[in-house]
Amino acid sequence: MLVRSSIKLLQFYMPQDPQDSDSGEIMSLREWRQAIRTPTTYRVGNRTLRIQTQFVSLVAFIGLVVLLVMYTYAVDHSTVSVESLKNKSSVKPYMPVPTTSSHDNYNSTYPLTTPKRTPKGILFRIGVVSDLDKGSRSKIEEFTWLSYYKKGSLLWNPVSKSIKVSWDAGDTTVLRSSIGESGRGMELSELVVFNGKLYVVDDRTGIIYELLDDEVIPFVMLNDGDGRMNKGFKSEWAAVKDRKLFVGGLGKEWTTNTGEAVNTHPQWVKTVSPTGEVEHHNWYHKYLSVRRMLGIEFPGYITHEAVVWSDVHKCWFFLPRRCSKDSYNDVLDETRGCNIMITADDTFTDIKVLHVGNLIPTHGFSSFKFIPGSSDQVIVALRSEENKGATATYIMGFDIMGKILLPETKIADEKYEGFEFI
Indicate which CATH number applies to the domain containing 275. Answer: 2.120.10.100
Instruction: Indicate if 240 and 357 belong to the same structural domain.
Output: yes
Q: Is the pLDDT of residue 73 over 90?
A: no
420 is known to lie in a ligand binding site: no
Instruction: State residue 26's pLDDT score.
Output: 40
89 is known to lie in a ligand binding site: no
Which residue, among 321, 317, 388, 324, has the nearest Cα to 353 in the 3D structure? 317
With respect to residue 83, please indicate whether it lies within any of the assigned structural domains: no
Instruction: Indicate if 27 and 155 belong to the same structural domain.
Output: no
Instruction: State residue 55's pLDDT score.
Output: 56
Instruction: Indicate if 30 and 120 belong to the same structural domain.
Output: no
Instruction: State residue 319's pLDDT score.
Output: 99
142 is known to lie in a ligand binding site: no
Q: Is the pLDDT of residue 1 over 60?
A: no
366 is known to lie in a ligand binding site: yes
pTM: 0.76
Q: Is the pLDDT of residue 43 over 50?
A: no
Domain that holds residue 21: 2-37
Average pLDDT of the chain, as a whole number: 85
Helix crossing, 2-13 with 21-37: angle to 10°? 140
Instruction: Indicate if 8 and 142 belong to the same structural domain.
Output: no
Give the distance, in angstroms, between the CA of residue 4 and the centroid of all CA atoms in the same chain. Answer: 96
List beta partners, residue 421.
Answer: 126
With respect to residue 48, please indicate whether it lies within any of the assigned structural domains: no
Tens of pLDDT, residues 288-342: 999 999 999 999 999 999 999 999 999 999 999 999 999 999 999 999 999 999 9
Instruction: State residue 62's pLDDT score.
Output: 74
Instruction: State residue 54's pLDDT score.
Output: 63
